[in-house]
Amino acid sequence: MSAVDMHAAAKSEAGMSTASRRVARGLFGMILCMLAISCGGSGGADDSGSGTTGGTTTLSGSNVVAAVVNAGPSNNSVNTLFVSVTVCVPGSTTNCQTIDNVEVDTASYGLRILSSVLTLSLPVQTMSSGASLVECTNFVQGYSWGPVALAGVQIGGESAGSVPVQIIGDPNFTNVPDDCTGLGTAVNTVAEFGANAILGVGPFAQDCGSGCAAAAVPTTYYTCSGTNACVATAVPLAMQVQNPVSAFATDNNGVIVQLPSVPAEGSATLSGYLVFGIDTQSNNASNANGTETVLTVDDQDDLTVTFNGQSLPQSFIDSGTNGIYFNDSSLTVCTASGLTDFYCPSATTSFNATLTGANGVTASEQFSVANTQDLLNNNPSFTAFVNLGGTYPGTTTSFDFGLPFYYGRRVATAIEGNTTTVGSGPYFAF
Amino acid sequence: MPRQFLTLLALLACLGPGMACAGLGEPESSVQGDVAKFQGVVNTTEHLTYRTHEIELPSGTVLREFVAPGGAVFAVAWRGPIIPNLRQALGKYFDSYVAAAKVSPVNHRRLDINQLDLVVHAAGHMRSFSGVAYLPQSVPSGVSVGELR
């Protein structure tokens, strides 16, 4: 998709609806190759030691890639973090494709590429029966469907030779099982994701884990053969969609997202880093600020947030969410069309929440929520907002600390089974 | 014996391709069909104004069906690593749910549908999903929707 096309599309959405769409786009967006440092191509040592704003420490090294918040190609994303990823046919160093507009998501696990952007032919994994391995990926609003293929994955100077990745929306696999369509709406296109791919770098090595290895679990993995109905199947851990970081030769125990701070009114764009490894290089030491808190998560990547006297045990930290989402029935909700899932208090309001890890360690977090409509209208071109708050229904037992949580700090995500100098994954530390 | 026969009938009907008898808005007997479909283990608990059938799926996800004194399922709630088949759990309300979800703002971490006849609240991320669907006009008086988890 060319930049011209994308601007034309954005222009066709007039007035308030454009502002609404910007923020309502949700968690997935795209990046243009507007900043050379984010599109440096296919691996090799990455020296991304320039281009930061907001006073963040400059980082460089083969384990560092530039990560950028911007409006994405549709000119409507906010608080969405992107990197560039190169995938190759396994075993080849030339049959490769660099995909930009890849969203960094610390609340999922594994690389998922929208098939429409993939020009490579990646080999789909087959089970011993010869049938293809296809996945039904769960999303709150529905599902994605597509085969699990093998790819070499290069991000900055890090690489893995052969990693199971999902190809979402592959036209060769359209026989979606009833159990999968039973999850709701299909989410299978770039337009629906607002991204070319999702890079799931959360604290687990596989997207499902031991449960899907032990038995066939409906609405997860299936084998598909010809025109026959697909059948739910157990899948060994090594064949499940993998967090690519776990598969790297080095710097493979987790990631650090480091982003500059954002002023109250927001920022036009933001340039920071995705760093691979924790305590493996001079640039990824734990406790760099001297006050790092380590919160482990449970086997569902959740921790507990206490807010307004309520304990919310399904809470999470998530670079793939575009705001701070929580329920506070006393806070005014926006009325503008398309913004009714966001807060619009008359004045910016400050809150305090307590995060409690599965390890019992607590962290007190202050955050503020501004009037979403004002934020968008005052600076229509801005894409990074630290005070953006969204609503959760009152029945929800979750609090979602999205990308604004990451602004102005380093947040480490350690993968399960790995030990660093400050703890054992799965954990978040900041 | 007649009761078992009725259960068997319900079960057989629910195993059909339409699965029309399942879940939300259906008689309590439909719960057995859901248990069979989900290959789950069911636990029944009496509350003051309703009864819950908690079906634990092999995946670890728990589906809880709330039955009003009148005998109909007025809410279903789920929590766990995998979303259950909502076509089964929501039954005849599934199509309405999908239609509403399609026009909701794109957001893969939350869903908030509030219709006169159907409310669906859901949240979560990969490996952790929770949600509730209920029929606002069928919630017994005195029951707080906050209990429907």
Contact A301 B149 (CB under 8 A): no
Q: Which of A28, A301, A341 sits opposite B127 (nearest CB)?
A: A301
Chain A residues 168-207 with CB within 8 Å of chain B: 178-179, 181-185, 187, 192, 194, 200, 202, 204, 207
**What pLDDT, on a 0 to 100 scale, did the predictor assign at position A91?**
96
> Given a cut of 50, is residue A201 above it in pLDDT?
yes
Contact B127 A204 (CB under 8 A): yes
> Is A103 in CB contact (< 8 Å) with chain B?
no
- Going by pLDDT thresholds of 50, 70 and 90, the confidence category of residue A192 is confident
> Is A140 in CB contact (< 8 Å) with chain B?
yes
**What pLDDT, on a 0 to 100 scale, did the predictor assign at position A77?**
86
> Given a cut of 60, is residue A164 above it in pLDDT?
yes
Question: Cβ-count burial of A346 within 10 angstroms (0-12 exposed, 13-18 middle, 19+ buried)?
Answer: exposed
Contact B108 A393 (CB under 8 A): no
> Is A396 in CB contact (< 8 Å) with chain B?
yes
How many Cβ pairs within 8 Å bridge chains A and B? Answer: 158
**What pLDDT, on a 0 to 100 scale, did the predictor assign at position B106?**
78
> Given a cut of 50, is residue A13 above it in pLDDT?
no
> Is A394 in CB contact (< 8 Å) with chain B?
yes
Chain A residues with beta carbon closer than 8 angstroms to that of B112: 341, 391-393
Average of pLDDT values for A297-310? 97
**What pLDDT, on a 0 to 100 scale, did the predictor assign at position A24?**
55
Closest Cα of chain A to B2: distance in Å? 32
> Given a cut of 70, is residue B3 above it in pLDDT?
no
Q: Whole-structure pTM over 0.80, yes or no?
A: yes
pLDDT tens-place string over residues A214-247: 999 999 999 999 889 999 999 999 999 999 999 9
**What pLDDT, on a 0 to 100 scale, did the predictor assign at position A18?**
52
Q: Which of B98, B107, B148 sits opposite A27 (nearest CB)?
A: B107
pLDDT: is A349 or A75 the higher one? A349
Q: Which of A191-200, A264-273, A329-338 has the lowest mean pLDDT?
A: A191-200
Average of pLDDT values for B31-51? 94
CB A134 within 8 Å of CB A148: yes
> Is B16 in CB contact (< 8 Å) with chain A?
no
Contact A398 B104 (CB under 8 A): no
**What pLDDT, on a 0 to 100 scale, did the predictor assign at position B49?**
93
> Is B127 in CB contact (< 8 Å) with chain A?
yes
Contact B110 A27 (CB under 8 A): no
Q: Coil, strand or helix: which one is B75?
A: strand
Contact B87 A25 (CB under 8 A): no
> Is B109 in CB contact (< 8 Å) with chain A?
yes
* Domains, chain A: 286-429 (2.40.70)
Q: Coil, strand or helix: which one is B41?
A: strand
> Given a cut of 80, is residue A74 above it in pLDDT?
no
Chain B residues with beta carbon closer than 8 angstroms to that of A219: 59, 82-85
- Going by pLDDT thresholds of 50, 70 and 90, the confidence category of residue A72 is confident
Chain B residues with beta carbon closer than 8 angstroms to that of A183: 83, 85-86
> Is B99 in CB contact (< 8 Å) with chain A?
no
Q: Which of B105, B111, B145 sits opposite A338 (nearest CB)?
A: B105
pLDDT tens-place string over residues B91-141: 999 999 999 999 887 788 999 999 999 999 999 999 999 999 999 999 999
- Going by pLDDT thresholds of 50, 70 and 90, the confidence category of residue A56 is low
> Is B71 in CB contact (< 8 Å) with chain A?
no
> Given a cut of 90, is residue A338 above it in pLDDT?
no
Q: Which of A50-59, A152-161, A191-200, B47-56 has the lowest mean pLDDT?
A: A50-59
Q: Which of B81, B97, B112 sits opposite A341 (nearest CB)?
A: B112
> Given a cut of 70, is residue A283 above it in pLDDT?
yes
**What pLDDT, on a 0 to 100 scale, did the predictor assign at position A23?**
63
Average of pLDDT values for A29-58? 37
Contact B130 A302 (CB under 8 A): no
Average of pLDDT values for A323-333? 97
Average of pLDDT values for A380-397? 95
Chain B residues with beta carbon closer than 8 angstroms to that of A28: 106, 108
Residue of A108, A112, A141 to mutate, interface with B, max B Cβ within 10 Å = A141
Query: Mean pLDDT for chain B?
Result: 88
> Is B115 in CB contact (< 8 Å) with chain A?
no
Cα gap B79→B63, rounded to integer Å:
7
Q: Which of A207, A218, A301 sits opposite B85 (nearest CB)?
A: A218
**What pLDDT, on a 0 to 100 scale, did the predictor assign at position B136?**
97
Contact B88 A395 (CB under 8 A): no
Average of pLDDT values for A326-332? 97
Query: Mean pLDDT for chain A?
Result: 88
Chain A residues with beta carbon closer than 8 angstroms to that of B83: 138, 140, 183, 219
Place of tokens 């995998």: B82
> Is A141 in CB contact (< 8 Å) with chain B?
yes
Contact B109 A400 (CB under 8 A): yes
- Going by pLDDT thresholds of 50, 70 and 90, the confidence category of residue A427 is very high
Share of chain A above pLDDT 70, in %: 87
**What pLDDT, on a 0 to 100 scale, did the predictor assign at position A124?**
98
